[in-house]
Amino acid sequence: MNLPSSHPLVDGRTTHSSLVRAYSGDRPDRLPVWFMRQAGRSLPEYRAARGTTAMLDACLTPSLASEITLQPVRRHGVDAAIFFSDIVVPLKLAGVDVEIKPGVGPVMGSPVRTSADVARLRDLGPLVALDPVSEGVALTVEALGQTPLIGFAGAPFTLAAYLVEGGPSRDHLAARTLMHSDPVTWAELTDWAADVTGAFLRAQVLAGASAAQLFDSWAGSLGLSDYTAHVAPASARALESVADLGVKKVHFGTGTSELLVAMRDVGADVIGVDYRLHLDEANRRLGGATPLQGNIDPALLAAPWPVLEAHVRDVVARGQSAPAHVVNLGHGVPPDTDPVVLTRVVELVHGL
């Protein structure tokens, strides 16, 4: 482990936490639970703290990013925090013209579709560019004590898809066209994205994150052969950025039920499963040897409590087939979720 002596995994603060133990394949006495997109969105204290600050500005203001990260831990009693940021933050720090438009998502100033476009992309440069991220993580870790922080980054395919499409897309046609029509340029682009997002992830771990999660939001648009040939090498490159640090690496994607083994084989220790596939089946596909994370259906957070409770109990029961299980959603917290419901889910999971 090439971590600083002050790191929570080195000085022992988070070493024996339920989350780290579960990610390591152990089953602690209390089942760990946290939620993707728990920081922000549904919390009134988040809206009050952020006010009119633009999303990317909030992500790069260390004290604000830290406060937002801590809010769900205080309110819900979850077993981990996940750093409040956005997958396009490293793109912005590398000089890409990107903004997050409310109700739309990340939008690029111009798409990246040719070899010349890729050649114009700048490296992230000196790690000082990531100082706002490192400072926000350090502030958060100091406040969390024995609760672990998860660092996160976007997977290269998702970042490349945003760059090629110029913004959100339903089917990623332009990205998939480039992948096949100009595989050399595609590989250059995904390698660049892997290095930028890998540096972003590494900065979070070095500053105190006790685990790392790679999100591939759009990989579900790919078949297995395309993923293996055109995406997996860059994802492995991104995860390799923290391999020497010894933290557990989680890989999650949406609509990726057919890709789980390939996603694990790029270097992940834990696989996040979305709501489309039962955990016992995911465990079967993975050979019964990989800790799982997931997979409460976010849609059921708005259902009557008896319906949601039965679903949570079913998720936990199916997760018992795996070597270890961290309870989470099968995607992110919807913005209109009642925070009281999330707290109630945490209490239910802890009581099972």
Cβ neighbours of residue 51 under 8 Å, at least 6 residues apart? Answer: none
How far is it, in rounded angstroms, from Cα 31 to Cα 324? 9
Tokens of 239: 């995860």
State both tokens at 124: 């992230």
Q: Is 264 a catalytic residue?
A: no
Which stretches of the chain are assigned E, i.e. beta strand?
Answer: 81-82, 98-101, 105-108, 149-154, 211-216, 248-253, 270-272, 292-296, 325-329
Of 23, 162, 227, 275, which one is the catalytic site residue?
A: 162
In the set 13, 37, 176, 202, the catalytic residue is 37
Q: 46 an active-site residue?
A: no
DSSP-based three-state secondary structure for 246 = coil
| Residue in 41, 276, 285, 344 annotated catalytic | 41
Judge whether 37 counts as a catalytic residue.
Answer: yes
Residue 177 amino acid letter: T
Among 159, 262, 162, CA closest to 201: 159
Give the DSSP letter string of 92-110: HHTT--EEEETTTEEEESS
Selecting among 23, 75, 79, 86, the annotated active-site residue is 86
Residues 13, 21, 50, 202: which is the catalytic one?
50
Judge whether 227 and 234 are in contact, CB under 8 Å: no
Catalytic (active-site) positions? 37, 41, 50, 86, 162
